[in-house]
């Protein structure tokens, strides 16, 4: 199945342009959508999840017109928003059963079997009788993925799923996403480059509602191959380098800033060629350098 987005536009009543002529083709597997806060990622996700209308453009999921046939989309959609509420004092197994019933699974035995399977998949079966409101952040996100998978969806959308998770919970979350993406379109919207690096073979970068890049991660790295240079500088020297070079990133290493500069040729002055990575691709695209 292919998700095809053509010239999608959305402007809010306060004048903010959330989506500007966004066009993408997304295939089965894990697709990473990168961008800073305010880039338009959540607006795109909410539109694909049938939670808001676009001003213009089209979205097709296989043969289904997403913008004009929302009920059909919802039958094969799994959605994990950035934040989701739960009923207080309601256990995981009760809430999953309720959500499965809302999704049209009317036979109790079928629901019981499916709910148990999904809670096992999310490594929550031992905690199935606990209230979801009492779960840790990582457990709640795993519950979110479990409810996403009710009914074997063909499209799964997860919006900023690993924000706030510790490394162990993040790895568990990665494993679940990796498993479900084999035969399903999974769109991972995030501002965390590491998430895309770990999981995705195809990606897009957005900023201010516009699509800056789309393609596979190898193509993304090829964009900057041989064009990123690095060196350590003193903290007091950082403003000077920022004025004189196209600095795309700076991070403290051993107490000193390690700067990455974008240049088509060797800038000299102690710079060495840096190994290309997706973080540099991200910042280079945001700064309109490629």
Task: Say how far apart CA 89 and CA 133 lie, in whole Å.
Answer: 7
Task: Specify the pLDDT at position 208.
Answer: 93
The model carries a pTM of 0.86
Judged on CB neighbours under 10 Å (0-12, 13-18, 19+), 3 is buried
Output the pLDDT for position 276: 87
Q: Which two tokens stand for residue 233?
A: 């500088």
| Topology given in CATH for the domain delimited by 3-221 | Rossmann fold (3.40.50)
C-alpha–C-alpha distance, residues 59 and 69, integer Å = 10
Helix or strand holding residue 215 (H, E): strand 210-216
Q: Where along the chain do its domains lie?
A: 3-221, 225-286
Is 197:166 a contact under the CB 8 Å cutoff? Answer: no
CA angle 285, 29, 149 (to 5 degrees): 120
pLDDT, one tens digit for every residue, the chain (290 residues): 899 999 999 999 999 999 999 999 999 999 999 988 889 999 999 999 999 999 999 999 999 999 999 999 998 999 988 777 778 889 999 999 999 998 889 999 999 999 999 999 888 999 999 999 999 888 888 899 899 999 889 999 998 887 777 888 888 888 888 888 888 999 998 888 888 888 898 999 999 999 999 999 888 999 999 999 999 999 999 999 999 999 999 999 888 999 999 999 999 989 999 998 898 999 999 888 87
Specify the pLDDT at position 198: 82
């Amino acid at each position: 199945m292919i998700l095809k987005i053509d010239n999608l536009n959305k402007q809010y009543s306060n004048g903010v342009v959330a989506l500007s002529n966004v066009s993408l083709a997304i295939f089965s597997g894990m697709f990473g959508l990168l961008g800073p806060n305010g880039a338009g990622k959540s607006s795109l996700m909410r539109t694909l999840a049938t939670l808001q209308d676009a001003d213009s453009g089209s979205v097709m999921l296989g043969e289904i017109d997403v913008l004009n046939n929302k009920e059909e989309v919802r039958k094969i959609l799994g959605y994990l928003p950035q934040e989701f509420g739960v009923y207080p004092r309601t256990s995981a197994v009760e809430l999953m059963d309720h959500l499965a019933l809302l999704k049209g699974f009317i036979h109790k035995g079928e629901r019981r079997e499916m709910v148990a399977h999904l809670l096992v998949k999310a490594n929550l079966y031992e905690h199935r009788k606990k209230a979801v409101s009492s779960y840790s952040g990582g457990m709640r996100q795993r519950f979110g993925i479990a409810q996403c998978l009710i009914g074997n969806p063909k499209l799964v959308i997860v919006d900023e799923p690993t924000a706030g998770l510790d490394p162990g919970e993040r790895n568990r979350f990665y494993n679940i996403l990796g498993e479900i993406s084999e035969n399903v379109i999974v769109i991972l919207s995030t501002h965390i480059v590491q998430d895309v690096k770990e999981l995705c073979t195809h990606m897009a970068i957005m900023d201010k509602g516009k699509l800056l890049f789309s393609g596979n991660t190898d193509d993304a790295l090829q964009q900057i191959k041989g064009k990123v240079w690095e060196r350590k500088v003193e903290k007091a020297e950082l403003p000077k380098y920022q004025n004189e070079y196209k600095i795309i990133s700076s991070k403290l290493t051993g107490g000193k800033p390690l700067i990455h500069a974008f240049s088509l040729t060797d800038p000299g002055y102690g710079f060495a060629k840096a190994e290309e990575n997706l973080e540099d691709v991200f910042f280079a695209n945001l700064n309109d350098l490629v």
